[in-house]
Chain A
Amino acid sequence: MKYIYKILLVSIITSAGFYSNSAAQEIKSINGLIKDINDEPLAYVNVFIQDSFDGAMSGEQGSFFFSTDKKGVIILVASLMGYKKYEKEINLDSEKNINIEIVLESSLMSTEAIMVTASSYGTAEDNGVVMTSMDVITTPGGAADMFQSLKTLPGITQVSESAQLFVRGGDPNETITLLDQASLYHPFTFESAYGGLFSNINTETIKGIFFSSGGFSSRYGNVLSGVLELTTKNEPEISLLHLGVSLASSDIYGQVPVSISSTGLRFSARKSYTKPIFWLNGGLDDFTVMPVSSDANITLSSKYSYTGRIKLFSSIAKDEQGVHVKLPGYMDEFIGASNSNFINLQVTDIIFKNMVLKTSLSKTNYKSSWKLGILDLNRKDSGLKLRSDAEIDISSSIKLLTGFDVEYRDANFVGIIPAEDFDLRIDGNGEVINAGFNVTRSGVYTEFEISKLFGLPDLFFIGGLRGDAISPLALKWIDPRANFGYKITDNLTFNFGWGIFHQHPDPRLYSSSDGNPNLKAMDATHYIASLDYKINKVSSARIEGYQKKYNKLPLEDAVLNYNNKGYGFARGMDIMIKGDLFGIIDGWLSYGFINTKRKWMDFEHLSSSSFDITHNFTFISKYNITPSFQVGANYKYATGRPFDPVIGSNFIPALGIYEPVYGNKNSARFPTYQRLDLRLTYLTRLFDKYFTVFYLEDLNILDINNIFGYSYNTDYTKRFNVDSYFGKRTIVVGTRLSF
């Protein structure tokens, strides 16, 4: 105890010495109170005079006191983690003692954690239900592919096994993919009539994934149904090399810090070769040219200042395939090939202290060729885009988002298409097509994110307007969008989203020969209501109801080829539960119910959309048998896709073949789609040094014969199943080494 008193005595003497000494130097006292915007005192705030050592910490009641011998104008600073730094000029000569009240604003918007718009999924907590890159990598049957993994989310219907995203009954063209603000028109390999099979962007180069299946922000224009936004990784801190080899592909990924001044390089290259997998699992005879693809990505990123970063991302990809196709009464060969390249330069910086500005300039090129009998179609699609987005913190509860984009797109279709869609014979009648679509779209938007709406701490609003204009098509529109959220309890949040969305129809429909260059933009109105429930730290659940109304859809017209009198709707419900299921299994369960009908294109009546998959159910589970062994399962169930049934045929003497007679549009459905994939993963360190993953995937382990479509005999009296990509059991083994 004596020791304590000695210390106190020394302290008091020291203090006394300090005061007497300071008095001689005309000291001034600075004292005050520090509070937050809710008038609550803030403890442990570091208050000091800039460029001096004079300062103090605020106490439990938010008060502080210190003395200084400084004179004239000083800058008083108050700093606390999680709050914006406070700075104020004070003239010490004007008053003997300074008494000041300081209010600190939180550096986070106070309800940021709940400012989750309806229908959104992302890699960060503030994006909604979380989908991490680890989820992508470990999804059984997902081939570590972003698109295949995203397809396990509710709201994305299982129309086919392709990687394309069919969102809530919409055509895949109604969903856009952005990478670091740039548009990716063709992020797939092996594109065919039902979309590409995998992404050509390496998952390892991606830092963030945000996906929205409706009611999305005003930031996104010229899109009706869904948004996938990807952000690439910044400069790496350390060098790494990953090598992967499987029965289906080989790949390499590397990252190198170029200099210690925050510049770095990431690169990846991948080559797929399907021969081994078809050799093992059967099916070699189906191909005339084994499907192969290759792609490479490179990211060069540099932090040029404390707040600024410049990033260059580039990718190239190509693929080819030749496959036997069973056509009515004969076999033919489909030959497809494509190549694409993409480059994007993005600059990000903080300006005016409270504004984050991101700007990107990108260029993309895509070419493809499809040959099947008389069909010989070459496609070119290129784009040039400039986009800038600004985020401005106006106050602790209001954020302004604004920006613009200018996008030039040039799409061309050249070649021969069959005169009759049922006659693909090489010597059948063909029509020469030479259609072009060269447009420039300009868009601008403004949006506010407001927390504590009407003073209610748990109510937030996100809403804005965007305008787009497309020349020379003379299309213009203004889209208002809004989202309200209310945090009912700490774990339960209600969201309501509404918005109007416009998009121009498929470029092919603007052809002056068989399209209509005067087609107007399609529009959709979204209404979404959702409840998000955070079960615990790692588990969450969401239930959501939605309605979409489509208007001005393109509809075949005897005179104009197409008019804008099409319409339709989509309504349904999505449920997702994700996290630690039943206490032992890590995974997620998603269910989507949809009813969607359209009258558009060649539909004579309001009929089920071609993407109307009534029930979609996915259950993903991963279980660690031991710390180094993980077993994963992916079970999918989906209602069969609608199609036009053939109900008869007519012989056409002039052509010498039969013409199918179809029943009502989409009045029949393919059988239910079911698939169970299993994955066994073994993690180890080779030579006690190299982190290594061995995996074995058994795709469609139950060998369920899922159908891609039907083919027919010559007079359409018999039909035959065309298997889907994974229509039979397929085994894939592979390994991945890290150096």
Chain B
Amino acid sequence: MKQFLILSILISVLTVIGSTQSVDELVKEGKKLVEQGNITFQESVLVNARGLFERAALSDPENYLANYYTGYTDYRLATYYMKNKDNTKFKQYIKSSEKILRTLTRKNDADAESLSLLATVLGIQISLDPDLGQLIGQEAAILISKSLKISPENPRVLLHAGISKLNTPEFFGGSKEKALEYFKHSVNIFEKINKEKAINWGQLDALAWLGIAYTRLEKYDSAISAFKRALEIEPEFGWVKYVLLPSAEKESIKSQKTNSE
């Protein structure tokens, strides 16, 4: 069923591509695909999305959204290849994402969206090569702090801030509790904001990360609630459905058993 759904979306999108389109339309279609790719964690969908953004960015090099979403999709593809242990492709896409986001932040150093995403892109590289922590860890922390100053109520900035706090060792300033605060704040804002904004990804990620933070704090019931909320919004969100929720439920049962003993 999932395959049918993706197929139909791809057919629609590829059909539309053949017709006369504006850059905005390409970006719009790309956004649909990348969101779908994130939900289903499918390489083909993400690569197709990237193709649309790339075409849009080449047609209009100054188009912010086309460039931002190319960088964002590269980040998604990098995480896909990281999970699938394809180190060469991971490096290619994460470096491409970093390059694009750096270009955007050079053009506008108050671009909190790009600054905060860049921090997460740097963070992923540190997680795979801790030696980079000394070199770029401080930069990632500064980027987060700068983004929060510029746009303290941006839910994606809060999401990136939470990811950074959760994955940073405590002696470098990491904190599960602080991360939880950021994720909660992010989730609350996502519930209220207009979903039609130019950049609108992140609600599912915020709920997933909120659940992860609860899990790390061993608050499994809260974690399960967060994951279930994500599945209410998108029942096919694979990361939560097949990985995070079953794992939290397992841990919850284990914890209950330990407590009863």
A: residues with CB less than 8 A from B are: 1, 4, 7-8, 10-12, 14-15, 18, 21-22, 43-44, 46, 48, 50-57, 66-69, 77, 79, 81-82, 132-134, 137, 237-238, 240, 260-262, 627-628, 683-685, 688-689, 691, 738
Contact = CB atoms under 8 A, between A and B. Distances in A.
A46 B55 contact: yes
A56 B14 contact: yes
Nearest to B16: A14
| Across the A-B interface, the 10 shortest Cβ-Cβ residue pairs | A628-B171, A46-B51, A44-B47, A7-B8, A11-B11, A134-B131, A53-B21, A15-B15, A4-B4, A11-B12
B19 to A, nearest CB: 6
B58 interface: yes
B96 interface: yes
B8 A66 contact: no
A607 B54 CA distance: 67
A4 B5 contact: yes
Contact of A8 (B8, B16, B108, B142): B8
B89 A82 contact: yes
A422 B43 CA distance: 77
Given A134-B135, A685-B171, 5 more contacts: A4-B5, A22-B18, A57-B51, A82-B88, A133-B135
Interface in B76-129: 88-89, 92-93, 96, 102, 105-109
B260 interface: no
B169 interface: yes
A260 B107 CA distance: 7
B258 interface: no
Given A260-B107, A261-B106, A691-B172, A79 B138 contact: no
B36 to A, nearest CB: 12
Contact of A7 (B5, B20, B23, B58): B5
A56 B4 contact: no
Contacts of A738: 138
A689 B173 CA distance: 7
B139 interface: yes
A433 to B, nearest CB: 48
Contacts of B26: 53
A237 B139 contact: yes
Interface of B: 1, 4-5, 8-9, 11-12, 14-23, 25-26, 43-44, 47-48, 50-51, 54-56, 58-59, 88-89, 92-93, 96, 102, 105-109, 131, 134-135, 137-139, 142-143, 169-173
Which of A21, A132, A238, A628 is packed against the most chain B CB atoms within 10 Å?
Answer: A238
A24 to B, nearest CB: 13
Nearest to B12: A11
Contacts of B137: 691
A81 B96 contact: yes
Contact of B106 (A15, A66, A262): A262
A53 B1 contact: no
A8 to B, nearest CB: 5
A134 B126 CA distance: 13
Contacts of B105: 237
Nearest to A3: B5
Given A11-B12, A56-B17, A134-B134, A48 B55 contact: yes
B126 to A, nearest CB: 12
A240 B141 CA distance: 12
Contact of A685 (B16, B22, B135, B172): B172
Contacts of A684: 171
B17 A683 contact: no
A238 B56 CA distance: 30
Contacts of B12: 7, 10-11, 14
B84 to A, nearest CB: 14
B16 to A, nearest CB: 7
Nearest to B47: A44
Contacts of A240: 138-139
Nearest to B88: A82
Contacts of A81: 89, 92-93, 96
Contacts of A1: 1
B42 to A, nearest CB: 11
Given A11-B15, A57-B48, A57-B51, A50 B58 contact: yes
A22 B89 CA distance: 38
21 contacts: A4-B1, A7-B5, A11-B12, A18-B19, A44-B43, A44-B48, A53-B56, A55-B51, A56-B17, A57-B48, A77-B58, A81-B92, A134-B135, A238-B142, A260-B106, A628-B171, A683-B171, A685-B171, A685-B172, A685-B173, A691-B172
A43 B4 CA distance: 20
Contact of B11 (A15, A50, A627): A15
B107 A683 contact: no
Contact of B173 (A4, A43, A688): A688
A111 to B, nearest CB: 13
B54 A79 contact: yes
Contact of A627 (B1, B96, B169, B173): B169
A414 B54 CA distance: 66
A8 B106 contact: no
Contacts of B4: 4, 8
B17 A14 contact: no
Contacts of A261: 106
Contacts of A82: 88-89, 92
B92 to A, nearest CB: 5
Nearest to B50: A46
A86 to B, nearest CB: 14
A689 B131 CA distance: 21
A132 B96 contact: no
A627 B171 contact: yes
Contacts of B20: 53, 69
Contacts of B135: 133-134
B18 A54 contact: yes
Contacts of B8: 4, 7-8, 11
A4 B15 CA distance: 17
A51 B138 contact: no
Nearest to B1: A4
A51 B131 CA distance: 42
B171 to A, nearest CB: 4
B29 to A, nearest CB: 10
